[in-house]
């Protein structure tokens, strides 16, 4: 039997520097300050606490939408003032228009940020101004047609018919004497813009009788109340007589 070990491997020689399997670790040199890299010069060992820097994130395009930070304050204020028009009217409508224009210009510089808010505030402000102008116009037209205004279309010439809006019948009453004389008193308020008197047509009914008469009132200043008095003689006795009088028509009267 020979000195060859089983398995075909050569006998281990402790004096031989090469290890089995072809791996020959480097010899330790106590004079070296750094340990020898057993994996070769091309590999850098991992050092705890060191991480590669994260990749740079590319910014997304704005596309006209806000990034969360209010960089277009005029646009925001335009929207706020535009919403306040329903409470404050024209006092916030004009600022909403001005800030809306400024906000739209600034949105072009910021890549479209705040454009929607600026446009909304601008539209609300314009709507408020237009609505205010229409409202004022309606008031002016209403004043023209109101009774007693200087531009009323009701004629003031002698004998012209008095319209319902020209006067107000404040109070009326009937007094009946023992001789069946009915005295009808009516208070008339002048709602025109000039001094005027009235010719008043009165009709009284009682005891199966109907009587009509026309009386004249004193001249009344604007917003002044005067009395017109009409007297009608009935043939029945006071015991069974009940009289009702009404104003059937009025005309302007120059005195």
Rounded CA separation 115/92 (Å): 19
Residue 223 lies in a domain: yes
Examine the domain organization and report whether 190 and 227 are in the same domain: yes
Provide the domain count of the chain. 2
Helical H segments across 51-204, by residue range: 73-83, 85-88, 90-109, 115-145
Q: Are 179 and 221 in the same domain?
A: yes
Mean pLDDT of 21-39: 54
Q: What is the pLDDT of residue 25?
A: 55
**What does the pLDDT read at residue 99?**
92
Beta carbons within 8 Å of 9's beta carbon, 6+ residues apart: 20
| 3-state SS class at 50 | coil
Q: What is the pLDDT of residues 39-71, one digit of tens each?
A: 555 555 555 555 556 666 555 445 444 445 567
- On whether residue 115 sits in a domain, the answer given is yes
Given pLDDT bands bounded at 50, 70 and 90, which one contains residue 153? very low
Average pLDDT over residues 105-120: 89
Are residues 132 and 198 both part of a single domain? Answer: no
Residue range 132-145: mean pLDDT, rounded = 78
Tell me, yes or no, whether 239 and 169 share the same domain: yes
Q: Residue 214 belongs to what domain range?
A: 164-253
Which pLDDT tens digit goes with each residue over 71-81? 789 989 989 98
Q: What percent of the chain has pLDDT over 70?
A: 65
Q: Are residues 172 and 242 in the same domain?
A: yes
Residue 225 domain flag: yes
What is the structure's pLDDT at 33?
52
| 212 against 139, higher pLDDT | 212
Which structure tokens are listed for 228? Answer: 């017109």
On whether the CB atoms of residues 136 and 179 are closer than 8 A, the answer is no
User: Which residues are paired to 185 by β-bridges?
Assistant: 173, 229
Q: Within a domain: residue 46?
A: no
User: Who wins on pLDDT, 156 or 5?
Assistant: 156
Quote the pLDDT of residue 190.
Answer: 94
Kindly report whether the global pTM for this prediction surpasses the value 0.75: no
Whether the predicted pLDDT of 241 surpasses 80: no
Residue of higher predicted confidence among 21 and 113: 113
In a domain, 79, yes or no: yes
- Residue 63 is predicted with a pLDDT of 46
Structure tokens at 158: 């002698």
Q: What is the mean pLDDT of residues 189-200?
A: 92
CA dihedral over 227, 233, 237, 243, signed as positive or negative = negative
Q: Assign residue 187 the CATH number of its domain.
A: 2.60.40.10
Assess whether 127 and 186 both reside in one domain.
no
Asked whether residue 170 is domain-assigned, the answer is yes
pLDDT of res. 60: 47
Split at pLDDT 50, 70, 90, the class of 255 is low
138 and 90 share a domain?
Answer: yes
Last residue of a domain, one of 110, 145, 180: 145
Q: Name 163's Cβ contacts closer than 8 Å, sequence gap at least 6.
A: 147, 154
CA Rg value for the chain = 54
Let me know whether 184 and 141 are in one domain: no
Average pLDDT, the chain: 77
> 195 lies in a domain?
yes
pLDDT at 35 over 90: no
Least confident of 2-11, 84-93, 112-121: 2-11
Query: What's the pLDDT at 189?
Result: 95
Please check whether residues 249 and 171 belong to one and the same domain: yes
Kindly state whether residues 193 and 233 are assigned to the same domain.
yes
| DSSP 8-state class, residue 177 | -
Residues 183, 212 within the same domain: yes
114 with 182, same domain?
no
């Amino acid at each position: 039997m020979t000195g060859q070990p089983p398995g075909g491997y050569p006998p281990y020689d402790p004096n031989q520097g090469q290890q089995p399997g072809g791996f020959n670790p480097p010899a330790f040199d106590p004079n070296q300050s750094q340990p020898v890299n057993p994996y070769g010069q091309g590999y850098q060992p991992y050092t705890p606490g060191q991480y590669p820097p994260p990749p740079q994130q590319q910014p997304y395009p704005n596309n006209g939408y806000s990034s969360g930070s209010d960089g277009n304050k005029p646009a925001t204020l335009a929207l706020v003032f535009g919403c306040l028009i329903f409470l404050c009217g024209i006092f916030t409508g004009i600022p909403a228009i001005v800030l809306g224009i400024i906000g739209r210009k600034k949105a072009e510089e910021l890549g479209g940020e705040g454009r929607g808010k600026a446009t909304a505030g601008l539209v609300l402000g314009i709507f408020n101004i237009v609505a205010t102008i229409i409202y004022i116009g309606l008031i002016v037209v209403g004043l023209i047609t109101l009774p007693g205004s200087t531009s009323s279309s009701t004629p003031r010439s002698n004998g012209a018919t008095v319209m319902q809006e020209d006067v107000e019948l404040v109070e009326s009453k009937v007094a009946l004497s023992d001789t069946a004389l009915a005295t009808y008193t009516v208070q008339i308020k002048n709602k025109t813009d000039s001094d005027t008197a009235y010719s008043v047509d009165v009709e009284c009914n009682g005891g199966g009788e109907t009587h009509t008469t026309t009386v004249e009132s004193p001249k009344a200043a604007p917003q002044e109340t005067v009395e017109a008095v009409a007297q009608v003689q009935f043939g029945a006795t006071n015991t069974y007589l009940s009289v009702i009088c009404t104003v059937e028509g009025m005309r302007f009267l120059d005195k």
